[in-house]
């Protein structure tokens, strides 16, 4: 069985304001694979079952239930009817991207692509940060003693922790 390709989008809609817009939007874009949730229970179950590239949520009604998610994907809010209340709810939930009514397909598509790109940047930055922290710790270990055997022991121990192996060794040739 081949796995479907495309951007996985979790859509959380409690109201009907943007329903027709979203249905038409996803029908036109074959690179997007939407999965719909209309209750907080469905949202939590779907978010816990699979990883999504991006999530679309209606604001202000849908943002209330986002706190139940442990690690939500990048989220785009569709502000429906009450603009001030919708903006307040997305600020409270720390959502960066939003689209206001009237909705434009190009705008939403651009926001989806941007959210995914930002997610990959943060992932890469986090990975590089961990690598740099490991180098700093290795440098500290190497400079903590003048005994070459102890330095080798500390370096081997740290490397085995970093790459998560049960055994590790360094062989000195010379």
Rounded distance between C-alpha atoms, residue 87 and residue 166, angstroms: 51
Q: What is the enclosing helix (H) or strand (E) of 141?
A: helix 105-143
pTM of the predicted model over 0.85: no
Q: Are 116 and 7 in contact (CB under 8 A)?
A: yes
Residue 161: predicted pLDDT = 81
Going by the DSSP 8-state scheme, the letter that residue 173 receives in this structure is -
Phi, psi of 106 (to 5 degrees): -65, -40
Residue 32: predicted pLDDT = 92
Q: How many CA atoms lie within 13 A of 4 on its CB side?
A: 8
The pLDDT tens digits of the residues spanning 59-115 come to 887 887 887 777 778 889 888 777 888 888 888 887 878 888 888 889 999 999 988
Rounded distance between C-alpha atoms, residue 139 and residue 118, angstroms: 31
Q: Two tokens at 155?
A: 């370096």
Nearest CA among 96, 101, 97 for reference residue 79 = 101
* 42 C-beta neighbours (distance < 10 Å), count: 15
Burial class (CB in 10 A: 0-12, 13-18, 19+), 66: buried
Helix, strand, coil share of the chain (percent; to 5): 50, 15, 30
Structure confidence at residue 26 as a pLDDT band (50, 70, 90)? very high
């Amino acid at each position: 069985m081949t796995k479907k390709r495309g951007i996985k989008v979790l859509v959380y809609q409690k109201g009907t304001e943007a329903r027709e817009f979203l249905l038409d939007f996803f029908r036109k874009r074959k690179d997007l694979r939407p999965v719909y949730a209309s209750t907080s229970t469905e949202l939590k179950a779907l978010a816990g079952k699979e990883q999504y590239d991006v999530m679309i949520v209606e604001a202000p009604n849908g943002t209330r239930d986002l706190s139940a998610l442990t690690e939500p994907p990048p989220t785009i809010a569709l502000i429906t009817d009450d603009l001030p209340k919708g903006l307040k709810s997305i600020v409270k939930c720390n959502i960066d991207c939003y689209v206001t009514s009237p909705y434009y397909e190009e705008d939403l598509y651009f926001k989806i692509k941007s959210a995914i790109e930002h997610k990959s940047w943060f992932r890469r930055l986090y990975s590089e940060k961990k690598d740099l922290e490991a180098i700093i710790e290795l440098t500290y270990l190497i400079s903590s003693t003048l005994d070459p055997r102890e330095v080798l022991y500390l370096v081997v121990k740290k490397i085995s922790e970093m790459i998560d192996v049960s055994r590790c060794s360094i062989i000195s040739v010379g």
